[in-house]
Structures are given as C-alpha cells and as structure tokens.
Structure 1
C-alpha cells in the first residue's frame, strides 16, 4: 500500500496539479478503476478518488475516457457527483463526493426492505432519465456500479459503456464485452449475437434485464448468472409481477424501467412507502402549501428507526432547518428536527444544528421561541457553555419581559435547564435581575413558578448573596394573595433551610412564617407548621452549640453587683417574681443605718434619728424614687449614687411596693389614676434586671440637679432646691391608701417607716405635712459627711392634661 501511494504521488508530481490527497484504498468488485478515500486540500472535506492507470490497462482506456466524459456531462441527482477530473499520459483521476460501494451493505445484509426499495426507486428514476431523456443505454447495471453517498442515497456510476443510441460508433457496441464481469449480467440475446444485437431491440431492453438482475442481487446478496433471473426468492411479493416482466427472455416483451417505476408508484404498490414519499416531499418542502406541509410533517414524524440515519442527517435535516428558519415550517418541523438531531454525533450537531439554533433564538416569532424553549432539554447537553452563556442566553432573556404570558412562563421554566451552562457572574447578576421582575409579575402562576425556580437553583447562587436574595424573595411571596404562591414559598423555605444562619432563622424567617399558622387556607396552615418545625429544629441545634453566657467571669475583688441564687422554676410567672424578690432581698441585706430626720430643713444635724418620717401620702412613688436617686446618701450606704449596686429597691417605699397589699374595693380606681398602658409599661421596665445592674445611669437633667444640690449643701451656702417630679401619677397616694386600710383607727400600728405623719387628714390623696421637708440624707463630699435637705413639692391631685406628644406621662424621661 505504501508503495502504491508513493507511486501515485510520483505520478501526480509529473502531471497537472490535482488538489486532492489520497487516503485508504477501498475494496471494489472487478473494475477498471481503483477507488480511494480522499480529502480536499483546501478545506479538508472528504471525497472519493477513482484512479485509472493507463500504462497498466491501456486496452480499457476507451472505457475510462468514456466514463469521464459521461460523468461530466450527465447531470442528475441519482448520478455520482463529480468534483474534478485530471487526465495525463499515465493516469486518469476522477474526484467525486465521498462514496461507499453498495456491495458492502449487500454483503452485510444491513439493508432493511424499506431502505432497499427506496434505493431501487432512486436507481430506477436515474435509469429512466438515461433511457428516456438522454436516449442512452447504460449497459453496466449491477451492484458494483451503485454506490451510497454520505446521505445514504444510492448513486449510479459505472458509465464505462454508457452510449447514446443515435451514435452509430457508440462505445457500447464495440467495447461492451470488455467490461469486467459483464458475462453474468449480459442479456441472453446479446450473449448469443454480440452487442450489436442491441440495435435491433428496444434500447431500453438491456437496462431492463440488468435492472431485474440488480433487484435479485439486492434482496438476496449475490447473483450468479442468467439462471437466477426471474426468481422471486427474497423479492417483496408486491413486486413479483412487474419484476418478472423486467427479465422476460424476449427483449421486445420486457417492460422498460420507466414503466416499472410507474407501476410501483401506484397506490398501495411496492414504491408507495413513507420513506419514498419523504424523499420526494423533502426537496419541495419550501414550496408546499401549509396543508401539504402539515401532511408531510405528520408522515415524517411517524417514521420508524428502520430508515437510513445518514439520509435524515444529510438530506432531511438541512431541508427541515431551512423550512423552520425561512420556509414557515414552524414548531412542528422543529420537533422533527430535534428527533433527527438526537441521533447525531456531537461534532455533527455542532456543525449542522448549532449555528441554526443560534439564529432561531434571535427570531422574534413567539411560536418559534416557545418551541425552542420546550425542546431546550433535548439540546442543552449538545451545546457548549460558551455558546449558551454568550450567544443563546442573551437572546432568551428577552422573553422575561415579553407581553405574552406564555412566553414569560416558558422562559422562566427554561432557567432550570440553562442554569448548568451559565457562568456565576451571569447567574448572580443578569439572571437574578430578571427573576426579580417575574417575582412581581401580574400573573400569579408566574410569581409562583419564580419562587419554585429560586428554590431549585438555590445551590447555584453565590454564597455571599444567596441568603439575602432567598429570604427577600420567599418572605415577600409569603404575603402573596395567591394561595399557591404562599404554599410554594413555604415549600421552598422548607428545602433551603441549610443556606440560612441560625440568626436569620430566628429573627427573619420564623417571624415571617408565623402569621401563616392562622392563614385562612388549611393547606397553608399545615405547610406553615411543617416549615416552622424545620426551622425550630435548626434553631435548637444552633442554640445548643452556643455558650451558656456571654458575660465575662465574675471576680470577687471587682466589687460588682451581687447576684442572687437562681430559684427553681415552677412556672413562667412565678419564675419572674422569684427572681425579682431574690435580687431585692440580697440588696436590702447590704443596707446599714437608719434614715436621718431633718431638723428645720437645714444641714446642721448629722446624728442618726431613732425613727424615719414617712413622706407625704400625696408624694408619688416615682418622685420618691427619683428623690432617692437625686439626694445624696451616706457614703457607707450601698444606695449611694456612686455605688455599683444602685436601684430603688432598698428604700422603705420600695419595701412597701413589693409587699402584698390587701385587695380593696377602690384598687381599680387607684390604678386608673395612671396613664393606661404607658406608666404600667414603664413600671415593668423599672423592674427589669437592667435597673438593678451596676450600669444604671441617671438622666442628664437629674444628674446635674443632684450635683448642684450636693455642692450647695457641702458649702452650706444655701438650702436644698425643690424637686420637680413632673406631675406624675399619684402612685404614692395609692400606697398611703393601702397603708391606711391596713391600719384603721384603733387598729394595728403601721410598719416602721410608714407611720402616718402628724396633721394628716386621713384621706388618701391629701396630707397636712405635704409642704414639710423630707429628712436629711448624709452625703460624703471631699471626705466630710454633710447633710443635704430636700424639700418636697406639693402635689396637685387634679388630673393633668397631657399633650399627644407626651403620652407616657413622663415615665420615659425618668427611666
């Protein structure tokens, strides 16, 4: 083989240029030609090369030259397509389309009956053209003269003795017997009298007989001679009658190949088959009417896998693509395209289908766009990421904003198919931008599908923005009036919990889901309960991994606030009360000394008094508390403003507050003296742990007031300034009323520190000592203990009108 290639190359070098390269040699039946696979140097396309060595077969040179001449002048779809020919003194080369000898398929018996009939139909049309239109005789019909193209079509060659009957010096009459292996296929009348006898018979007789032999050989695999002519073994029954007339011993009684073709094309005859109809219709698909095109596509869609794949790939597919793109084939033609394209190799798909798909996605026809999106799963694996991301996706996104809802919905559904072919930048940028629009679409179904889409592509989103995007989208959908949109959001949240932190679950997701626990639809309520449970489990798991406390460890020498021993928790209410009383008791135990009474409202007395005087009943608890905070205290007392354990619980008034008073008939009236909902809320705020901690800070106004009072007291230059309580509700009056009820006239004495002041009127809201000054308190200033006198303010018991901008009655400023 190497020697032969080198010899051919040497011969080419001596002759005219031949722009084709020789490849492997192809086996042939006995022939004057040697067949090679070849390639075109210019573009690397495949071809076949017939080579004739003049020096080795000089006697057959007239046959080779006749073949070259007829192949170049005979133009018909069923004839081998010639690309180029070269003739020199030593060789003749014919470059043709890539061919495969039909003998290969016959030997392997790879031809289905339908494919065999389709091939014979094509050859019959070609022979009819030669006999009728060209007025010629082929004279060399046999399996060795037939080839299959890349499209699977049968192409007729073997033109060595093809002659025009009007030419008296035709090659067939002189050299017909020189054709290799011609004896097996020669008609009986020519075998007896020579090829000149063809002039005395119809010129179609020779080709009719040889075509009959070809039919037998195709269906049976071999033809040994004239004794097999006319046998019906393997031949389809519908063909028997016409086949026998082709091989009649009398040349004048034989039907022509053209007549045989007409008989086969009759309704329900042997050439009336779907595959043959396809080959006839596909070439004229572009000029068919809409009804004819629909009927043709229906027949095409019903074809089975028994038909030649190469034909569909090379002939049908290009015609269908042209029909879809330019000829109005529409979605139905495209569905057939995808059925055929599924059998293509990746290289063939990239070459033949991908360029057309890119152009089709740019087509503004909505029907084409929807059809493309419907078939996207069939083609996505064949398309490269670069093609999808750079060329197809920019065309697809126009569907997100189309006015037709069906286009928007199909575009949205295609995201699940496209997502694996898109870059991270495209997903987290342009795609999310369009999904945000469909999440607000006027169509509830599109909004619902957007939520479902986000849930399914969550794993493809960027980790830096995924939680933010999903929470925003899903929580918004939870408020959608469309029930299925809410349900889709709950389902999406249930399956994407792994992407959210414990803090997001507790602070953002559960508060958004919880209203749906009482949704009007049972479907939503049930799903909301399931979703809540998913996130509760996640929160429990996150909480279990957290430390018991975030506070720094206590140091004995730090002088920080004393902490109470946790009490057994019996119920939520009792646990709260037990904690407050325990802390209060611990703080009270640290207090020492007695409250010092005031003598004339000056700072001249520092000796402890045996009894403390109770503040007027009209004084409110709030003013007492603020007075305690503002008034300086002895340096040894833990209630000093500078002490780390500040609070109001260590005062006598606080002791009375935490006591359990007896229920009286007018208790409700007394609570009504306070602003409803505001003073009460501030009261509970006052009892929170923060009020008992070391971080208690006086308001700026009060601090400055206390500082000024201390300065004046220490210097002895003036009396203490009166304290303005801001006319807060008379809570102290209520305390006094409770004390009076516990100590009626002639009854038990009041607790220490709550004795009724002299001159009291006996009413809960008034007192004769309202204008008297409170007892002095000791304060340590500059290392010297002095006394500060505090003057009480007369309380106006009338209800005070409050503006809209001060609904809390001043409680907020005090705390």
Structure 2
C-alpha cells in the first residue's frame, strides 16, 4: 500500500515520516512498519491502525492511552495521527518485535533472557494501578538499546475506573480478533496469568525453568500470586543473585546520568564479568550490544586516550576494554563511524600490547574499513612493527602482511614494504626469516611485473634463503619456488631460476635435496614443453647440421700432408732479380720508407739493389717470426688473435685521387677518442686486426704467386685509385659482465 498517495489525498496534510512499504508485524488490529523522520532521519516505528466498526473501541482506547501514559518500559510515543478514520497512526521511537523465531538461539544464554524478564517485571510494577490485559508474544518489543519494552493498550484501563462488565466484553472481543483463548476475564488475575504463560514460553518451559523459580512461576500462572509478590520471590533466589548480568544491567540503566569517571567504573565492572565468563556476552539481542555496550565502550576508551594518555598506568586499563570492544564489534559485524575513528586512534598508540592485540583482530576488522583510510592511517603505523625490537611483534606483523597488502597503494607495496621484507629476511630469528619467504610467496602475484622486476625480486629472495643456515628457511624457499612457477617465463627460468634451485641439489639436508630435485625437474619440464613448441614451429629445412669437432684436433688426418705440399708450393720464388723494372726503386738508393708497403694485404713486390723478391713471402716470414706475436695471446682475452701494430711510417709521396665513400665498420667507433693526428693512412693500412675477423682477404696463404700478382705499377693512375681507409680501430677490451642481480642487495632494484 502506498501511504504517500494516501497522505496526498488528505488536503493540506504533510506526513512528517517516511514509511517502508512492507510491514514487520501484522495482526487484525495493527500493521507495524519501520520508518524515519524526514527532518533528522531519526529511526522510528509506525503502528497503523486497522480501524473498522468492530475494532473501533479497542483502537480508540489504545490511541488515548498512548497519549497519556509516559511510563518507563513502554514504547515511547512520539506522535499520534487520528484526523482521518483511515489514517490513524501511532509513531514511536524505533522498536523491534521480539524475534520469537530465534528463541532457540537466545536460549543458549538464559542469563540474558532472565534480564529481559526482569525488565518486563519492572515495567509491570510501574503499571500496578492499571490493568493491561494484552500480555502476549506480540506485546514484547526491543528498543534501540536492547531494553525489553511493551506495546498494546487496547484493553488498558485504570483500576479506579474499571467497569468489570465492559472490560470483560472488550476482552472477549480482543481474544476473538486474535484467535486466542480467554484465560481469564477477572481484571485482578488476568495480567498475572498472562505473565506466567509468557515467562514459561521464554524459558523454554519444563526443564528450562530454574528450579528455584518453578514454584513461584506455577503460582503466578494460576493467578494465586500477584506480579509484585512474584517479583520479590525471584529476587531472593540464587538464580537471580548469581546472575552477573542482572547487577550489570542495573548499573547500565543509570550510565546515561554518570560522568566519564562513573562510566569508567561501570565499564570496569563489565570487564570483570566479561573475563570471568565470556559466554554471558554472547547470544545477546543485537540492540543491546550495538546500542548500549559498544557506544559506551567507545566513549570510555576515547576518554582514556584523550585525557589519560600521558599516564603510563592508563594503558593497562585500555587493553582489556579494547579487547571487549573488538570482540563484540566483530561478533555483531557492527562498525559505526565512531568505532572506526576509535580504531584509527588506537593504531597510533605506541604500546606493544595494544598493537599486538590489534594485529590479532586485524583480519576480522579490516574488511569493514575503507581502503583509503587503511592506506593513510593504519599502514604507516602497521609497518613500524616490522622494525620493532621485540621479535614477537615483528613476527605477528609479518604474518599480518597478506591481510593488509590488498588495501595499500602500489608505491607502499613495491617500495616501502619490500624494503622491510629485505631486512626481515636476514633477521636473527629463524621463524621471521622463514615467514618472510612465505609472505613474499603469498603476495607475489600482487607485485609489479614491469621490466622483469618481480622475477628479479623473487629469484634473488629465494636464492638468499636457499643459502640460509637453517633448514626451515631453505624449505620455505623451495616452497615459494614451487608456488610461483607460473610467474616466471621460460627465458627467466632458463637464465635464473634453474641456477637458483641447483645449489639445493647439493644441500647437506636430505629433505632439501629431495625437494630441490623434484622442483628442478618441474621447472625443467616446463622448459622442455616450451622447447617442443619451438621445435614444431621451425621448419626442418632450416635445421643446422651437426659438426664433428673431434676431427678438428685429429693430427693424423691424411689432409695434413696435402696441406704441407700446397704451402711449400706457394712459397716458391717465381721471379728472379731484374725480372721487372716496373716497380723497382732507384739503383743505389734505399728509400727510407721502403718498409711502408710491407703489411699491405696482397701487396706488390718491392725492389732494391739486391734484386726483386716477393713481398708476400717477406710478409709471411716476418709475421710468423715476430717475437711480439706471443704477447697478443693471453688468458684474459683468449679470443683476440691480433698481431702487433707496426710503428707509424710516413709515406714518401702524397696520395691523391678521387675520394670514395667508405662504409663504417661496426667497431670503428671503439677508438674514436684517439687524436686525429695519429690516424694516418699508413697506420690504418698497418693496423692490428683479428685473424678471425680480418676483412677482404683476396687470396689464401696457399695460393701460388706469380709475377703478375706481385707487381703493381706506381703510376698516377694506380695511385688515384687508392681508397682512404676507414678510421683505425683498437683492440676490443674484454670487460666483465655484471650479473643481473646481486645476492647481497636484492632490494636495490626496489
């Protein structure tokens, strides 16, 4: 039913409350709805009357009594609306019908039910001058602070104004509408009888009733005892006296008029009762915990922090109250804003016991807090525990990292937190070292994977732990490698991870060796699977043929004799003195730079007064008999097969010709820092080059020489064709290659 449309139909009427569409309770006389006041969002309960000609006298009496009765223990009425017969409302403070469907749940804590019975008895004591006549299951409600209250004034009448005949008529009408039997129409006995039946049902009847209550309750149910007399009998029983919740309830009823010091005394009594029997505070009605205990605990703890924080003796008082606060809030899953602010303030305390208590409850409370608040207000204080001097606090903080890691920022995770973990991995406590690896394993999927950072961190951390002197840390490292196998690509596995696991194969502990062997095989299988995929993707035509390298060192090969014959044939002198005058020097004059042409690849012959001889023979002989060749072979640069570079000799004639563009070599810039004056044509022609990389070899040493190949005309035309060589290159320096990561500083990349 839409009440908004109903109220709009009433001229100039604005209903000041918002009402939910679905009723929480319904009977022939009333529909009960939750609602809120529009002005301040105050939660309320709205009773809408089902008015009819038959129910009119009962509804009229209920509305009238709601206006005039202001007795503790009744639903506190805020407003009544009865301007229209179809829109009669009684608005009260938020009240919830007793959850009879959960009675078995609350029967687990009968002490709490006894407190509820006490509250009903106190209310009826205030109504001793009235006959209620409507006590039943539908009469009991619970307010926002967990107090049991009553509603239902359809038959309520002052004893001084009682008309027995009219009361009996209305009683029969009420029971008829609610389909209930008439227990009694005697105004003097009806409330006692109804209360006895109600208490028996609340306690589960029969065996659930305390033995020292049984006789008094039976007398009450039969109407032989008044409610006041029954109340006095209960207060003298051991069940009543030994119930700590009853005495605590009496203190809580007056806590709203106490100052901070008085409230602290009440909470101290609560603390004593709580730690003596924690079961007393479970299976309570939610409103009592949410509306009474948690707010009062929050207020007292805040008072202790704000006014007594400078006093060291106050902290031991905060810890037990904080434990009760955390226990109750987690059980009810109730975290109002005031409770959240209290938690942020508590995390700022430097007391180790307080911080340790918060770490214990952190997994259960963190889901109820905002991510930004955790990152800004909790994590900076949380991380301090990783550097605390107390090993127990360090370990508990370490164990709590997987709980908080999803709530912190990326910078806090990949920078600050990893730096702390790098320190805890070398902690003196072996449990902390082992737990560090376990934590890194659990948060590994959240680490940044950009630029291979995650793989480097994991590989380095696991490597360091595999070198740990304690077997527990080494086993933790193998556990981490096993769990994170999917985070490594095959190249990382081949280049780093296998070398991380390999030392474990030689571990002194047999369990470590066994696990390392199985793990090594697991990673190797992953590589082999990738190799199979790679093999399938490559065509057979591009496969490389195998090379028999053993034959390279076989000196008995028949090819050696043939090779010697070819070499001897190549060094035979094919031209005598005076064979050619084309390239001879002036008779009787020895050119100072005659050696400048030695070393030129495939050079022409040089003549002097002693005749003409092949330059290549002299070059080969000089090269292979030069003592300085030995100096170029050393252990540190076994791949540098270069000859010594000759001293610079100036050319006797300037070289001229058309410039030719020369392609720069890949290593031509290795010696660019050499002064330009030292880069002469002769030096570049006589530069030292590696045998394996010597460019433009036009003929083999075994190629026979002829006079045509050993002579070249030094005519201007031949000179003009000379090409200026590229810049001189220097020897390659063999530099050590840095490893990708350093076992002793694995956090440097963070």
Matching residue of 2:45 = 48
The Cα shift of 1:255 comes to 5.1
Following the alignment from structure 1 to structure 2, what is the Cα–Cα distance between the partners of residues 541 and 579?
Answer: 42
| Secondary structure at the counterpart of residue 269 of structure 1 | helix
Q: 1:541 to 1:711 in 2, by over 3 A?
A: farther
Q: 1:12 to 1:329 in 2, by over 3 A?
A: farther
The Cα shift of 1:451 comes to 2.0
The Cα shift of 1:211 comes to 3.5
Determine whether 1:402 maps to 2:394: no
Matching residue of 1:803 = none
Q: 1:260-295 CA distances to partner (integer Å, 9 max, x unpaired)?
A: 334334564368557657756777795348985454
Q: How many residues align?
A: 595
Matching residue of 1:199 = none
Matching residue of 1:485 = 473
User: Does the 8 Å contact 1:564/1:582 carry over to 2?
Assistant: no
| Secondary structure at the counterpart of residue 120 of structure 1 | helix
Residue of structure 1 aligned with 2:213, choices 239, 244, 247 = 239
Matching residue of 2:646 = 704
The 5-angstrom pairing of residues 666-681 of structure 1 reads none
Matching residue of 1:471 = 459
Matching residue of 1:260 = 230
The Cα shift of 1:463 comes to 1.6
Residue of structure 2 aligned with 1:142, choices 113, 121, 135 = 135
Determine whether 1:447 maps to 2:418: no
The Cα shift of 1:457 comes to 1.6
Q: 1:27 to 1:417 in 2, by over 3 A?
A: closer
Residue of structure 1 aligned with 2:405, choices 384, 398, 419 = 419
Matching residue of 1:757 = none
Q: 1:36 to 1:473 in 2, by over 3 A?
A: closer
Give the CA RMSD over aligned residues: 6.0
Following the alignment from structure 2 to structure 1, what is the Cα–Cα distance between the partners of residues 364 and 457?
Answer: 31
Residue of structure 2 aligned with 1:97, choices 93, 100, 106 = 93
Following the alignment from structure 2 to structure 1, what is the Cα–Cα distance between the partners of residues 336 and 376?
Answer: 16
Following the alignment from structure 1 to structure 2, what is the Cα–Cα distance between the partners of residues 684 and 374?
Answer: 59
Q: 1:524-562 CA distances to partner (integer Å, 9 max, x unpaired)?
A: 5555555554555555566677789x9xx99xxxxxxxx
Following the alignment from structure 1 to structure 2, what is the Cα–Cα distance between the partners of residues 178 and 501?
Answer: 91
The Cα shift of 1:361 comes to 3.5
| Secondary structure at the counterpart of residue 210 of structure 1 | helix
Following the alignment from structure 2 to structure 1, what is the Cα–Cα distance between the partners of residues 499 and 620?
Answer: 35
The Cα shift of 1:466 comes to 0.6
Following the alignment from structure 2 to structure 1, what is the Cα–Cα distance between the partners of residues 193 and 100?
Answer: 19
The 5-angstrom pairing of residues 491-502 of structure 1 reads 491-502=479-490
Matching residue of 1:375 = 361
Following the alignment from structure 1 to structure 2, what is the Cα–Cα distance between the partners of residues 117 and 438?
Answer: 53
| Secondary structure at the counterpart of residue 400 of structure 1 | helix
The 5-angstrom pairing of residues 157-196 of structure 1 reads 157-158=151-152, 172-173=160-161, 183=171
Q: 1:429-480 CA distances to partner (integer Å, 9 max, x unpaired)?
A: 4433433343344544323322221122212212212112222333334444
| Secondary structure at the counterpart of residue 448 of structure 2 | coil
Following the alignment from structure 1 to structure 2, what is the Cα–Cα distance between the partners of residues 264 and 538?
Answer: 77
The Cα shift of 1:121 comes to 2.0
Following the alignment from structure 1 to structure 2, what is the Cα–Cα distance between the partners of residues 504 and 642?
Answer: 52
Residue of structure 1 aligned with 2:569, choices 584, 589, 593 = 593
| Secondary structure at the counterpart of residue 69 of structure 2 | helix
The Cα shift of 1:216 comes to 0.9
The 5-angstrom pairing of residues 19-30 of structure 1 reads 19-23=16-20
| Secondary structure at the counterpart of residue 704 of structure 1 | coil
| Secondary structure at the counterpart of residue 66 of structure 2 | helix
Following the alignment from structure 1 to structure 2, what is the Cα–Cα distance between the partners of residues 580 and 531?
Answer: 47
Task: Answer with 1 or 2: which has the greater Rg.
Answer: 1
Following the alignment from structure 1 to structure 2, what is the Cα–Cα distance between the partners of residues 442 and 433?
Answer: 17
Determine whether 1:213 maps to 2:214: no
The Cα shift of 1:116 comes to 5.2
Q: 1:84 to 1:176 in 2, by over 3 A?
A: farther
Q: 1:99-121 CA distances to partner (integer Å, 9 max, x unpaired)?
A: 3455x839999974836544322
Matching residue of 2:264 = 287
Following the alignment from structure 2 to structure 1, what is the Cα–Cα distance between the partners of residues 522 and 475?
Answer: 15
Following the alignment from structure 2 to structure 1, what is the Cα–Cα distance between the partners of residues 16 and 371?
Answer: 37
Matching residue of 1:431 = 417
The 5-angstrom pairing of residues 338-349 of structure 1 reads 340-341=328-329, 344=332, 349=335
User: Does the 8 Å contact 2:192/2:226 carry over to 1?
Assistant: no
Determine whether 1:297 maps to 2:274: yes
Following the alignment from structure 1 to structure 2, what is the Cα–Cα distance between the partners of residues 249 and 682?
Answer: 118
The Cα shift of 1:522 comes to 5.1
Following the alignment from structure 2 to structure 1, what is the Cα–Cα distance between the partners of residues 409 and 246?
Answer: 47
Q: 1:562-620 CA distances to partner (integer Å, 9 max, x unpaired)?
A: x998338xxxxx688459989989976863526569xxxxx96999xxxxxxxxxxxxx
TM-score when normalising by structure 2: 0.60
Q: 1:59 to 1:412 in 2, by over 3 A?
A: closer
Structure 2 residue runs of 5 or longer lacking an equivalent are 176-181, 256-261, 305-315, 581-597, 605-613, 654-702, 713-733, 735-750
